[in-house]
C-alpha cells in the first residue's frame, strides 16, 4: 500500500499506528512476541515488521511512518536510537523506568485529573495506578489536556516539585513529561 504523505488515508494510518505503538511498547509487547529490554527498548526492524503486517504496509513504509511519528509527536512519547525504539513513559509492563534525560525540574508541576478523583488524591497522594509512574506536566494547559481523558471538566492539581526534591523524592524528565514514583498529599494542592 503506497500512500502520499499529505493524503487523508496516510494521516489516518499514521494516527492508528501511533495509538498501536503506544500499546505495543507500553502495555502488550508479549501479544506480538516483541521483546523489550530492561529499559523498554525494542528492535525498530521487529516493530516495523509488526506494524507492517498489521496495517498491510511494506517494511519501508512502516519504518518511515514510525520515524515520522517519533519525530513529530508533540508529547515526545517515543525515542529512537541505534536501530531501537521505546516508549519514554506510560508503561504498565515491567521495565526499569528509573532513568531521566536530565535537565532542570521546574519548581511547580501540574497533574490533570477527574473531579471525582480529587478527594482521594488529596488524602492519599498521587499513585501510578495501572502504570509504573505518576505523570506530571510543566504547564496547566498540558495538565488540562491530560485530565480531559478522564473528565470533560478536569481539575488541575499543583505539585510543589521544589519541596519534593528538597525532601529527597526523585522526579525524572522524559521528553516533555516528568515522572515520579509517588506524590505524597502534602505536596499537592488544587490549582485555582
Could you tell me the CATH number of the domain that includes residue 55? 1.10.10.970
Residues 48 and 117 in one domain: no
Say whether both 19 and 67 belong to one domain. Answer: yes
Tell the residue number behind the cell numbers 519548581, with chain if given: 107
Considering the domain boundaries, does residue 96 fall inside one? Answer: no
170 and 132 together in one domain: yes
Q: Is residue 117 domain-shared with residue 45, that is, in the same domain?
A: no
Is there a contact between 88 and 175 (Cβ–Cβ < 8 Å)?
yes
- Is the pLDDT at 75 greater than 90, yes or no? no
Task: Give residue 18's pLDDT band: very low, low, confident or very high (50, 70, 90).
Answer: very high
The CATH number that applies at residue 143 is 3.20.170.30
Q: What is the extent of the structural domain holding 149? A: 108-190
Instruction: Check whether 109 has a pLDDT greater than 50.
Output: yes
* End-of-domain residue from the set 40, 55, 87: 87
pLDDT of res. 129 = 85
User: Alpha helix locations (H) across 29-167?
Assistant: 44-55, 59-72, 118-124, 140-147, 161-166
What whole-number distance in Å separates Cα of residue 143 and Cα of residue 100? 20
**Domain contains 76:** yes
**Is residue 173 included in any domain, yes or no?**
yes
Q: What is the DSSP letter of 117?
A: G
State pLDDT tens for residues 139-161.
999 999 999 999 999 999 999 99
- Among 57, 87, 117, the domain-final residue is 87
Domain-embedded: residue 15: yes
Q: What are phi and psi of 80, to 5 degrees?
A: -115, 140
Please name the residue ranges forming H helices in the chain.
8-26, 44-55, 59-72, 118-124, 140-147, 161-166
Give the chain's domain count. Answer: 2
Is 134 within a domain? yes
Residues 23 and 81 in one domain: yes
In three-state secondary structure terms, 111 is: strand
Residue 126: strand pairing partners: 183
pTM: 0.77
**pLDDT surpassing 90 at residue 12:** no
User: Does any domain span residue 133?
Assistant: yes
For residues 74 and 126, state if they share a domain. no
Amino acid at each position: 500500500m503506497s500512500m502520499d504523505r499529505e493524503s487523508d488515508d496516510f494521516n489516518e494510518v499514521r494516527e492508528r499506528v501511533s495509538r498501536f505503538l503506544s500499546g505495543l511498547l507500553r502495555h502488550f509487547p508479549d501479544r506480538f512476541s516483541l521483546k523489550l529490554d530492561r529499559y523498554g527498548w525494542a528492535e525498530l526492524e521487529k516493530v516495523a515488521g509488526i506494524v507492517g503486517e498489521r496495517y498491510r504496509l511494506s517494511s519501508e513504509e512502516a519504518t518511515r511512518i514510525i520515524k515520522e511519528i517519533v519525530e513529530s509527536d508533540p508529547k515526545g512519547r517515543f525515542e529512537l536510537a541505534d536501530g531501537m525504539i521505546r516508549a519514554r513513559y506510560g508503561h504498565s509492563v515491567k521495565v526499569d523506568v528509573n532513568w531521566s534525560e536530565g535537565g532542570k525540574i521546574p519548581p511547580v508541576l501540574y497533574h490533570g485529573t477527574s473531579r471525582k478523583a480529587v478527594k482521594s488524591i488529596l488524602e492519599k497522594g498521587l499513585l501510578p495506578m495501572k502504570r509504573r509512574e505518576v505523570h506530571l506536566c510543566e504547564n496547566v494547559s498540558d495538565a488540562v489536556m491530560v485530565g480531559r481523558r478522564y473528565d470533560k471538566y478536569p481539575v488541575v492539581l499543583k505539585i510543589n516539585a521544589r519541596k519534593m526534591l528538597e525532601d529527597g523524592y526523585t522526579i525524572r524528565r522524559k521528553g516533555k513529561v516528568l515522572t515520579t514514583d509517588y506524590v505524597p498529599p502534602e505536596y499537592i494542592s488544587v490549582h485555582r
